[in-house]
Amino acid sequence: MAQDPPAQDLMRYEAMAQDALRGVVKTALKRAAAPEGLPGAHHFYITFKTDAPGVSGPPDLLGKYPDEMTIVLQHQYWDLAPGETFFSVTLQFGGQPKRLSVPYAAVTRFYDPSVQFLLQFEAPAAAEGKAAESEPKAAAASDDAETSPADGEAKVVSLDQFRKK
């Protein structure tokens, strides 16, 4: 008996799931932007595609990271403004404050090492043609030395289990 070919996902469930998980990032940033700031030992490593549509920042800074950049929100960040479709934050790079605006759609990785929580996302459409597997470069360092997400066990939410094979 022949099997029917798998049905085409016209609902785009994978994209919906990615958008929903990016909502977790937005909610976490909204909590961090509250007057109390980050609770306890929580802090975030946020990796994003610098060439994704809507990413903005000083050209000299983005030029140093033409593909992907990781920022750390821990002790020294200012004016964190999480919006509906993007967030903005001021960080110090080389002792100089610089403002970045990043659409949530450009985020490829969100990691809170205090609780080993990691979300990974598909690269945005504009950056898909480039090598998505390359390691991001850390653009801002936290005050404390941390292990990278690959060194510790992290809670990973992967969408691979939902993909058709």
Instruction: List the chain domain ranges.
Output: 14-31+41-162
Q: Could you give the percent of the chain with pLDDT greater than 70?
A: 73
pLDDT at 147 over 70: no
Q: CA-to-CA distance for 14 and 19, rounded, in angstroms?
A: 9
| The pLDDT value given to residue 136 | 43
- The CATH class that applies to domain 14-31+41-162 reads mainly beta
| Token code pair at residue 10 | 């016209």
pLDDT at 78 over 50: yes
Q: CA-to-CA distance for 141 and 144, rounded, in angstroms?
A: 8
pLDDT at 127 over 70: no
Q: pLDDT of 25-62, one tens digit each?
A: 999 999 999 998 899 999 999 999 999 999 999 999 99
More confident: 131 or 111: 111
Q: Could you give the percent of the chain with pLDDT greater than 90?
A: 62
More confident: 102 or 15: 102
The closest of 107, 104, 98 to 140, measured between CA atoms, is 98
pLDDT at 75 over 80: yes
